[in-house]
Amino acid sequence: DAKTTQPTSMDCAEGRAANLPCNHSTISGNEYVYWYRQIHSQGPQYIIHGLKNNETNEMASLIITEDRKSSTLILPHATLRDTAVYYCIVRVEVETSGSRLTFGEGTQLTVNP
């Protein structure tokens, strides 16, 4: 799986948009970009994923650059409950039985009141 690089930590004001960047310059054409987050003392939680096109769901938006070498997760109106470690993961789709997620160090997002 392609290696990802994320900032160690970021701060955001409550109510503002949080933009979390991720570099994945060695991503292959068939590798997806996934985002998970881990709120303190909880299990990781799926947020969103994409291949080429930008994606949006009820939690966040995912913007993938045209060359696919980087992406940005956007939380449009961050709340205090969004404080968590955010993981960017890239991986290829395989037979589900052999699938695995390789977590990096992630970005600690702190939303401040």
Partner 1 sequence: DTAVSQTPKYLVTQMGNDKSIKCEQNLGHDTMYWYKQDSKKFLKIMFSYNNKELIINETVPNRFSPKSPDKAHLNLHINSLELGDSAVYFCATLGDFQETQYFGPGTRLLVL
| Contact set with partner 1 (CB under 8 A) | 32, 34, 36, 38, 41-46, 49, 85, 91, 93, 96-103, 105
52 vs 77, beta carbon nearer partner 1: 52
Closest approach of partner 1 to the CB of residue 16, in Å: 26
Cα 11 to Cα 53: distance, rounded to the nearest angstrom: 27
Q: Are strands 61-64 and 70-75 parallel, antiparallel or unpaired?
A: antiparallel
User: For residues 89 and 112, is the Cβ–Cβ distance under 8 A?
Assistant: no
47 vs 75, beta carbon nearer partner 1: 47
Cα 85 to Cα 38: distance, rounded to the nearest angstrom: 5
Closest approach of partner 1 to the CB of residue 41, in Å: 7
Cα 59 to Cα 49: distance, rounded to the nearest angstrom: 11
21 vs 44, beta carbon nearer partner 1: 44
Closest approach of partner 1 to the CB of residue 50, in Å: 10
